[in-house]
Amino acid sequence: MIKNNFLLGWRRLLFACLWWALSSTGYAVADTIVVRDFAFYEGERKDSLVADIQFEYQLTNYLRESLLNGITLRNEVHFELNWHSDWWWNKTEHLDNIMADLKYDALSRQYQLLNKKSGQNWNFSNLAAALDHMGVVKQHVLPALPADAFEEDASIYIEATLKPVVTKSLDIPSKLSSLFSSEDHQLVSQGVLWPLTR
């Protein structure tokens, strides 16, 4: 009898641990930036590349509420040029970035997306449409690559981040609460490497 109760207790504990592991991984994957698709192709010049990338954004509750309460969210897509080294540190050089601000206008009930480089802006009636549009990088021409990028073991590294923009208009209590809050205030995508070959 004691042996059966002991085995039953272990089975329940194992089932509870398995349930917790499966449910907690679901939450970890839900609030993130995922790279769905990416490709590079040669531009008009041989030393330039054109990028097509598709990101999918899943906001945390903190970021969603911040947006609805007037905080701007800044999306940055970083492009870096990396040279791999087996013997020493890898060499990294900033190549380009795309920056966009996402805001919510409570009066018009519209989500506004502003491309900081081009100055283009778009309005959306719902957050899902704004995030879908923000996640599309289409025919983005990268700056000219150095000549040794194709000759050595170079790769292009891509990463996206989404975080609240802290402005001077924020009051002291909200800044302090953001420092001590347990929630993560920034989303970061997984990094993607594209090896350069001719």
**In terms of domains, do 95 and 151 share one?**
yes
Q: Are both 117 and 189 inside the same structural domain? A: yes
Residue 91 pLDDT exceeds 80: yes
How far is it, in rounded angstroms, from Cα 106 to Cα 73?
15
* Residue linked to tokens 């983005």: 140
Q: How many domains does the chain have?
A: 2
Tokens of 183: 């929630």
Does residue 88 sit in the same domain as residue 170? yes
According to the model, what pLDDT value does residue 14 have?
A: 44
Residues 120 and 44 in one domain: yes
User: What pLDDT, on the 0 to 100 scale, is given for residue 167?
Assistant: 62
Q: Please report, rounded to a whole number, the percentage of residues in the chain having pLDDT higher than 90.
A: 48
Distances (CA, A) of 39 to 23, 35, 159: 33, 11, 14
Do 8 and 53 fall within a single domain? no
Whether residue 13 is found in the same domain as residue 54? no
More confident site: 165 or 175: 165
Same domain, yes or no: 167 and 111: yes
Do 24 and 60 lie in one domain? The reply is no
pLDDT score of 170 more than 70: no
26 and 122 co-located in one domain: no
Are 54 and 3 within one domain? no
Return the higher-pLDDT residue of 170 and 144: 144
Q: What is the pLDDT of residue 162?
A: 95
Both 84 and 66 in one domain: the answer is: yes
Task: Judge if 17 and 79 occupy the same domain.
Answer: no
- With 0.85 as the threshold, say if the pTM is over it: no
User: pLDDT at residue 174 above 80?
Assistant: no
Enclosing domain of residue 3: 1-30
